[in-house]
Amino acid sequence: MKHATPFVTSVAVLVMLPIIAIAQEASTRLASHGIAETFEQRMSHEAAVIRATPGESIWQQIPWVFSVTEGQKLAQAEKRPIFLWMLDENPIERC
Amino acid sequence: MLTDPQVVQLIRDYFIPVAIDKQTFFGARDREAIALANRMTGGRAINLGVHTASPDGDKINTFSAAAQSSSPAAAVSFLRQAMQQVGAAPARPAQNVDLYPNRGVGALADGSVRLAATLRYVVNGHPSKKPVFDSITLSSAEWEAMLPPKTAETRYDVPEEIVRQFSRVVGPESDTSNLLLPQHVTEAHLTGTMSGHGATGTDIVLSGTISASRPYVNDRNKIMPGFARIEGLLKLDAEGHPIRLTMIFNGTFKMPWAGSPSPTTALVEWRLH
């Protein structure tokens, strides 16, 4: 199995510094209030920063049809326009 | 465009919303469907984009990428143009939508689980505003392998083949041709350390790293490397059954044209209920 070279590892560590800063920022906020943050609390804070906000995932509330022919049948039946989104990935898998 | 509440509401209420995965769509070679998509898009189905079409499938308009990134008002105007052209129809009845049943919650009938993943680049020290959504599906046996073996006292290693499954969250690109797959992993380890074992359950602190790289699809001489440091917390109930998993991947990923690796972050989570 290959391992990352020391150079790659060094670059990765340097580039990761801002991420570590995000985690430390949350810890510092708690510490300034005299509260020692547990590992679980830190994980929870970091997760909240990464997790999608309601606005970012609002498109998931649209009742998508995943077939143009099925969509057109529905459009004709309901006399509605079609909104067609062509993606490079599967919207119900990775997107 | 699809993050604006008014835009989403108009689409929900007054359109038949169709989402097409271009790669799967053209791969299926359904000539009738391809001809229809070309009619809906004015011959541009091969391109990524957003279009409106009449109930008969004739193109009404295409939303330009430039406007797409700039103005919800332009998107609303684009939608209203199609609504006016087709004519008034009452709002559709509200529908409950669950695009991701079982993602991040519970187990499927066969005991497998779909861990929910959210991936982001980190820009100027902050997670970017464009998350990538994904799932990591572990079979019943793979899920079991995340748990401490019966013989473990305080520490155990998660089998490498299980850790490799997490390669999907190392690079936050949505295009699956840039996806780091388990076979692209060059190094992976994850250790669980048990703590707080008692009547209420056990906490397992997870710690490890994963590195992967793959050739770029358009130039196989160019490599896309990714690396992440893994931290996690797996909570078990008093009987040793998992009730919650949170994993955070902080690392880097480099696209071929980038001068240096870009910082990334990802969340993988699951809960029993």
What confidence tens digit (pLDDT) does each residue in B89-109 have? 999 988 888 888 889 999 999
- Return the minimum-mean-pLDDT range out of B6-10, B35-39, B65-69: B65-69
Residue type, position B144, single letter:
E
In this structure, the answer to whether residues B82 and B118 fall within a common structural domain is no
Residue B175 CA, chain-centre distance (Å), reads 10
Does residue B152 have a pLDDT over 50? yes
What pLDDT does A15 receive?
53
Cβ atoms B262, B253 nearer than 8 A: yes
The verdict on residue B100 lying in a domain is no
Average pLDDT over residues A46-64: 91
Does residue B116 have a pLDDT over 80? yes
DSSP state of A15: H
ipTM over 0.90: no
Average pLDDT over residues B223-233: 97
What pLDDT does B95 receive?
82
What's the CA gap between B15 and B245, in Å, rounded?
38
Nearest Cα residue in chain A from B54: A81
Confidence band for A30, pLDDT divided at 50, 70 and 90 = very low
Contact B20 A21 (CB under 8 A): no
Cβ atoms B243, B270 nearer than 8 A: no
Of the residues B1, B12, B18, the best mutation for testing chain A's interface (the one with the most A CB atoms within 10 Å of its CB) is B18
In this structure, the answer to whether residues B223 and B259 fall within a common structural domain is yes
Confidence band for A20, pLDDT divided at 50, 70 and 90 = low
What pLDDT does A69 receive?
96
Q: Please give the share of chain B, as a percent, with pLDDT higher than 90.
A: 76
The verdict on residue B147 lying in a domain is yes
- Return the minimum-mean-pLDDT range out of A72-86, B48-62, B94-108: B94-108
- Domain-ending residue, one of B86, B121, B143: B86
Residues of B in contact with A47 (CB under 8 A): 246, 248, 267, 269
Cβ contacts below 8 Å, chain A against chain B, sum to: 267
- Return the minimum-mean-pLDDT range out of B66-70, B77-81, B222-226: B66-70
What's the CA gap between B77 and B68, in Å, rounded?
12
What pLDDT does A70 receive?
96
What is the number of domains present in chain B?
A: 2
In this structure, the answer to whether residues B118 and B82 fall within a common structural domain is no
What pLDDT does A22 receive?
54
Cβ atoms B171, B180 nearer than 8 A: yes
What's the CA gap between A26 and A50, in Å, rounded?
13
Find which of A14-28, B188-202, B219-233 is predicted with most confidence, using mean pLDDT: B219-233
Contact A80 B89 (CB under 8 A): yes
Does residue B67 have a pLDDT over 60? no
In this structure, the answer to whether residues B76 and B145 fall within a common structural domain is no
The more confidently predicted of residues B233 and B22 is B233
In this structure, the answer to whether residues B67 and B118 fall within a common structural domain is no
Of the residues B12, B16, B217, B234, the best mutation for testing chain A's interface (the one with the most A CB atoms within 10 Å of its CB) is B16
Domain that holds residue B68: 5-86
Confidence band for B45, pLDDT divided at 50, 70 and 90 = confident
The verdict on residue B46 lying in a domain is yes
pLDDT, mean over chain B: 92
What percent of the residues of chain A are helix, what percent strand, and what percent coil, each to the nearest 5?
Answer: 55, 5, 35
What pLDDT does A78 receive?
96
What pLDDT does A1 receive?
45
pLDDT, mean over chain A: 76
The verdict on residue B191 lying in a domain is yes
